């Protein structure tokens, strides 16, 4: 009987500790930045891409300039987001600049 009580107590304690680590986010206003932060934290890639398009901002701008709760959106998603790795793939790939230089281009001066 004591073993059953210990197992039950352990399960209750584990359940309570899990709920204290869960973060419940709520939007403070209806601004574009807040909506982007909430969608990013939700972990839904399709909804994030749609929200980015609806905002009229580029992915690069959002990755570099949008702050959520005082931190960059990338750090916010990493700390609070569901499906954080996939969301970071969507957002972080836009924060890098890529340029291609044609080394084989033959320039002849006349």
All residues at 6 or more sequence positions from 39 whose CB lies less than 8 Å from its CB, including other chains: 47, 48, 51
pLDDT for position 88: 82
Q: pTM for the complete prediction?
A: 0.59
For the chain, strand residue ranges (E) read 67-68, 71-72
Query: Per-domain residue ranges for the chain?
Result: 32-96
d(CA 49, CA 59): 9
Per-residue pLDDT of the chain (110 residues; tens, 9 = 90+): 567 666 556 666 655 544 434 456 666 677 888 888 888 888 888 888 899 899 998 888 888 888 988 888 888 888 888 888 888 887 776 555 667 777 777 666 66
pLDDT for position 20: 36
Dihedral of the alpha carbons of 78, 79, 82, 83, in degrees to the nearest 10: 30
* DSSP-based three-state secondary structure for 106: coil
């Amino acid at each position: 009987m004591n073993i059953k009580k210990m197992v039950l107590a352990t399960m209750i304690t584990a359940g309570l500790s899990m709920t204290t680590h869960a973060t419940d986010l709520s939007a403070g206003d209806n601004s574009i930045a807040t909506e982007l932060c909430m969608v990013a934290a939700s972990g839904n890639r399709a909804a994030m891409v749609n929200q980015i398009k609806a905002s009229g901002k580029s992915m690069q701008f959002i990755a570099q300039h949008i702050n959520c709760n005082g931190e960059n959106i990338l750090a916010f998603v990493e700390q609070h987001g569901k499906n954080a790795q996939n969301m970071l793939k969507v957002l972080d790939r836009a924060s890098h600049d890529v340029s291609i230089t044609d080394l084989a281009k033959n320039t002849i001066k006349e």
